Amino acid sequence: MARRMVNIDRDTPLLLAPSIQDWIADDDMARLVVDAVSLVGEQEMSFNWNGTGSEQYPPQMMLALLIFCYSSGIFSSRRIELATYRDIAVRFITGDTHPDHDTIARFRRENGPLFKACFIRVLELAREMKIKRIGAVAIDGTKLEAAASKKRVRSLEQIQERLPKLDELVDELTAQARKADGEAAGEADGGRLPGHLAQATARRGELRRALAALGEKSRVESAKRDSERSAHDDEGPGEPPRRLPAEPQAEDTINLTDPDAKLLPGKKGGCHPGYNAQLAVQADSALPLILAGAVCDSPSDRRKLAPMVDLTLERHPETDRVLVDSGYDNSSQIYRLEKRYGVVVYCPPEERKEQKEAKPAGRRSKARQRTADFREGMRACMRGGFGQGVRQLRATTVEPVIGWIKERMGFRRFHLRGLSKVGLEWDLVCLAFNLSLIHRVKCSAGKVAAP
């Protein structure tokens, strides 16, 4: 029997569809991204108004390019540039133009306000589609690696021990260089340092900057803690947080590549430089839309409840319930939030604290007694059937979002450095997730044919 095979002809010239609109299907997410980005006004975009240099790419196109690539698991600026040649949906977004990786990276670094503006517009779009229904909000955090190596972590003790040795080495190499210049007068290149001296000088400068950054971080954290102490409500539960020293301690560490990244414990053991990414997700709907996101360098969530609730309530004042796990157990913050906003915070108390509260009531101070009473109310609230339902609701809303971001999108590591830049990249991730969710809803609702 004769075999019938499809003819594979790589030599005959071919033409794409005459219209770029025919390159992708009507239900492709690229179309939704382009439409969503068009909702952002030009007043919220940055342009080179001087008109100097080469023609600039439209900010709307660049934003759509980043959102679509992040939702597709493409994060590196070089891989995004490659996708403008290889991915037909990306070529649709860029209009078959090809911004280089440096342009993409610079746009991502410099357009944090644009990401936030688009995030708000997408939430407004979700409200119009009846996807956004805010009542209960679930909050959780996840650890993500920084764009830095663990080998670049140094403690204050190591820096102070290494700096004098580098000073001696630089002085010695400088003397040798001067001697060599004197012996070979007229032959030395006065505009360039010898290789060994240049390397030693660079290492010394790097350690000096790290030492100054450690001191600045300690002063900032100490001032922030003093502010938290002054804001503590003495009539409520909990005790004022401990003071922090204004000067760095010998065990304090800093990463020479990304000074804002901290060593965070991993679930599989060990530590790595990273950040603690926070999410607030709507829990009153089967569609876990991200309402707010933030990034911090704290290894614990315990002091991050108030900042996340403040951010969420600032954008969504209709929130009436906040669902968190025991990692956010902070009686003082919970009391202050419920008193200030009138919301109810459902948080199961940590078991390890119960042993400390097992002292006889007569031996407790008034502050400790108020804390014990408040925590007993929290425990009673979470003990019944309603409390168990709240736990399940939180676990089935915000935790799947984190799983989707890490597993489906593949985002496990930041690609920018510094807390502020990492924060804008997290905004971009949340924006890409929300648009992916809206796209899935449109497909499942039959507004466009499901792929």
Residue 439, SS3 per DSSP = helix
Per DSSP bridges, beta strands 262-265 and 253-255 are: unpaired
Res 383: pLDDT:
85
Rounded mean pLDDT, 271-298: 92
In one letter, which amino acid is 119? F
Residue 146: which pLDDT band, with cuts at 50, 70 and 90?
very high
pLDDT digits (tens, 9 = 90+) for 81-114: 999 999 999 999 999 899 999 999 999 998 989 9
Res 363: pLDDT:
61
Higher-pLDDT residue of 376 and 268 is 376
Q: In 3D, which of 329, 331, 333, 261 has the Cα closest to residue 298?
A: 261
- Per-chain mean pLDDT for the chain: 86
Q: What residue ranges do the domains of the chain occupy?
A: 20-110, 134-148+263-431, 150-180+194-253
CB 320 within 8 A of CB 309: no
Res 16: pLDDT:
63
Question: Could you tell me the two tokens for 177?
Answer: 């260089």
Res 196: pLDDT:
81
pLDDT digits (tens, 9 = 90+) for 113-136: 999 999 999 999 998 888 887 889
Res 305: pLDDT:
94
Rounded mean pLDDT, 395-401: 93
Rounded mean pLDDT, 365-387: 85
Instruction: Tell whether the model's pLDDT for residue 355 goes beyond 80.
Output: no
pLDDT digits (tens, 9 = 90+) for 436-450: 999 998 888 764 443
Res 185: pLDDT:
52
**353 φ, ψ to 5°?**
-80, -15
Q: Of all residues in the chain, what percent carry a pLDDT higher than 70?
A: 88
CB-based contacts of 313: which residues, under 8 Å, 6+ apart? 319, 341, 343
Cα–Cα distances in angstroms (integers) from residue 451 to residues 27, 87, 218, 407, 440, in the given order: 7, 17, 53, 21, 10
Res 241: pLDDT:
85
Question: Where do the DSSP E strands lie in 73-181?
Answer: 136-145, 153-155
pLDDT digits (tens, 9 = 90+) for 418-428: 999 999 999 99
Rounded mean pLDDT, 258-269: 86
